[in-house]
Amino acid sequence: MNIGFIGLGNMGGPMARNLAAAGHTVTGYDTADVHIEGLATARSAAQAAAGRDVVITMLPNGDILRRVAAEILPAMTPGACHLDCSTVDVESARAVADLAESHGLLAADAPVSGGTGGADAGTLTFMVGASDAAFAMAKPLFDIMGQKAVHCGPSGNGQAAKICNNMILGVTMIATCEAFALADKLGLDRQAMFDVVSTSSGASWSMNSYCPAPGIGPKSPADNGYEPGFAADLMLKDLRLSQLAAQGADADTPMGAAAERLYARFVEEEDGKGRDFSAMLPRFRARGRSS
């Protein structure tokens, strides 16, 4: 395919490179001066979008997505597909899809899970909100950039799936970190804690696959000084999106709200900014009950 790719940061850059390496013609654009091997470089977002079969966006938030969409959608050829892989609010995703359809375009919101490692390795999971036609058009690209793509329903449902998943992840990581901190203070060895919980009813992805305790379980950011695989800043962003959606849907999510408050404190008032979201463990370990 002839692909435009807008947003060549830590996630978008490797994704675009993998598409080019697979033989697609990829023209990239980023507001920063970014050059990716195998990509042609456009001078504007509209230029990157003009005449392409698929235009992929990977952008920081819904406001930027709306602005970029207003620029690129009129430049696209009717029948082409706008594939947005950003993580944004559901309302923005649906508004951009409606705008795309008004220009005679296909649209899909397809936020990802798997972090920068998954983007580089081509092992991302895509959660896709789209029509059947848009999903079918984008599916060969998902197969290159990732290992799984789930069609979650119409536009906006990809974002809904992403924020629900990451709300669970934020809550379970906090619970896992709290439990390790408690185990430490009770004199329970961390390896024994892991051996019990990872094979018992407390098992979770946060414990089994991304353990926040250094030297325990499979290698994780905890073993690298909590350098981010998934930054606490990004977890806070996703938790805020979950609570925005919960407010709009009149959904009661007290654990999600509590996780949002804790990550906000960690990132904005403590030392969590720029650290992995599992760095909650040393945070809890250093605190007493009345802290």
Nearest to 154 by CA among 111, 113, 109, 95: 109
Q: Which fold has domain 2-154?
A: Rossmann fold (3.40.50)
Look-up: residue for tokens 């905890």?
A: 222
Active-site hit among 139, 148, 162, 185: 162
At residue 33, the pLDDT reads: 85
The CA-based angle 286-218-9, given to 5 degrees, is 85
At residue 35, the pLDDT reads: 87
pLDDT band at 225 (very low <50, low <70, confident <90, very high): very high
Q: For this structure, is 162 an active site residue?
A: yes
User: Is pLDDT of 291 > 80?
Assistant: no
16-44 pLDDT, tens per residue? 999 999 999 999 999 998 889 899 999 99
C-beta of residue 208 within 8 angstroms of C-beta of residue 198? yes
Nearest to 242 by CA among 72, 89, 81, 26: 89
The amino acid at residue 189 is: D
Task: Name the CATH superfamily, with its identifier, for domain 160-286.
Answer: N-(1-d-carboxylethyl)-l-norvaline Dehydrogenase; domain 2 (1.10.1040.10)
**Distance between CA 81 and CA 108 in Å, rounded?**
8
**Non-local CB neighbours of 237 within 8 Å, separated by 6+ positions:** 61, 87
- The dihedrals phi and psi of 206, each to the nearest 5 degrees, come to -60, -35
At residue 289, the pLDDT reads: 84
User: Is pLDDT of 213 > 90?
Assistant: yes
C-beta of residue 243 within 8 angstroms of C-beta of residue 260? yes
149-177 pLDDT, tens per residue? 999 999 999 999 999 999 999 999 999 99
pLDDT band at 145 (very low <50, low <70, confident <90, very high): very high
Pairing of strands 54-57, 112-113: unpaired
79-127 pLDDT, tens per residue? 999 999 999 999 999 999 999 999 999 999 999 998 888 999 999 999 9
At residue 227, the pLDDT reads: 95
| Identical topology for domains 2-154 and 160-286 | no
Across 246-284, b (16+ Cβ under 10 Å) vs e yields beeeeeebeebbebbebbbebbeeeebeebbbbbbbbbb
Provide the mean pLDDT of the chain: 96
230-274 pLDDT, tens per residue? 999 999 999 999 999 999 999 999 999 999 999 999 999 999 999
Spans of all domains in the chain: 2-154, 160-286
Across 97-133, b (16+ Cβ under 10 Å) vs e yields bebbbebebbbbbbbbbbbbebbbebebbbbbbbbee
At residue 116, the pLDDT reads: 85
Dihedral sign from CA coordinates of 164, 278, 172, 207: positive
Question: What length is written for the chain?
Answer: 291
